[in-house]
Structure 1
């Protein structure tokens, strides 16, 4: 299987500190991957580079079958190419309903103001209902997003990302602040999404990572320290020393 995303030999420094150090990473078109590592390992910077927020000093970031260089695209162009990112804190329009949030997110040429007054019919309404069903919010379409529980807001934001029809989802610490029941539902959701998307999950919660049951990449000082199953990487003496042993 050819890679959907290929990061090769990427390095970037900030004021003399090398945040990413000759990093190479790839993910297939339908794959679930967890990224773990201590604070300062380069996890956020990695996502910043892939989404165009940060430009590396060296290396390449290629995308899709045609090997398009993401480093030549703007953040907006990268998003339109199919890279979606969900930050740790949910960013939804709290005064709008779930349905209105999803309507705003639908991939279309409409501007945001026009979308607020747009009444869905036909295919658009069906798409909103499909997105809500995918994240368990079918019964909450008429509720304001601000009334939702924390976990439900996280799911709404995932649905809003899906509305943009991404090929790759970068998801930052989805388990943070969730109840056990919400975590279990989120696990099932991400596993299901990986059947049709590439999904990269940055997470500190080892129990959550274990439930994902996927390949794990451990970052340390901006490089890949270990890679494989969770059991494999957590048995690695270097991983124990620099990450797991700190707790």
Structure 2
């Protein structure tokens, strides 16, 4: 099976510091993957390159069946291709309702005339209800997003990304600041989403990664240090040295 995303030999330096160093790995079309590594390992820069925020100095990023180069696209084009990114801090419209946040995120014609003429339909209402149910917010639709708990805001943002019907979700430290119950619900949500698309979770919390029970890629100094199950990579002497500590 050909990869959905293939990162091949990418490198990126900032003022002489090599944030990414000949990084290569691939993500399948239907997969849950955790990316871990110490601070400065290149996790954020990797996501910045995939989403078009940063251009690498060398290498290639191929998408779909390998025929499309993400490096030839801008951020908006990459998003339209089906790559969604959730940052660590939830970015929702706090003075709008949960329903309105989801409505604004729906996949639609964004030209000025289309936006001015847009009116809610039975179809858009059904889609909003479906998205809210998918992320566990079905009973929160009328509430202002600003009133939600931290975990609920994270789920709302995931729902807003799902409204764009992404093929790949990049999720940055989703468990940070969550209660235990919220973390468990987030684990269930991410595992379910990965049944129909690719989900890449960048995370520091090893207990959360263990709950995801998925393939793990360990980055160090901008390269892949190890890959495999969490048990496999945490037994790797190099990973123990640079990340876990003896």
Answer whether TM exceeds 0.5 for this pair: yes
Deviation at 1:223, TM superposition (A): 0.1
* 1:197 corresponds to: 197
Which residue in the other structure is 1:127 paired with? 127
Matches within 5 A, 1:18-167: 18-110=18-110, 119-167=119-167
Aligned to 2:243: 243
Please give the alpha-carbon distance, in whole angstroms, between the structure 2 residues aligned to 1:99 and 1:46. 32
**CA–CA distance in structure 1, aligned partners of residues 148 and 111 of structure 2:** 26
CA distance in 1, matches of 2:126, 2:99: 11
Report the CA distance between 1:111 and its aligned residue: 5.8
Whether contact under 8 Å (2:109, 2:115) holds in the other structure is no
Contact 1:8 1:61 in 2 (8 A): yes
> What is the CA RMSD across the aligned residues, in angstroms?
1.6
| Unaligned 5+ runs, structure 1 | none
**Secondary structure class of the residue paired with 1:243:** helix
Q: Distance in 1 between matches of 2:234 and 2:113?
A: 49
Moved over 3 A (4+): 110-119
> How far apart in 1 are the matches of 2:163 and 2:119?
17
**Are the aligned partners of 1:104 and 1:112 in contact in 2 as well (CA < 8 Å)?**
no
Q: 1:112 to 1:124 in 2, by over 3 A?
A: farther
Task: Calculate the TM-score normalised by the size of structure 2.
Answer: 0.97
Match of 1:185 in 2: 185
Residues of 1 paired with 2:102 and 2:116: CA distance? 11
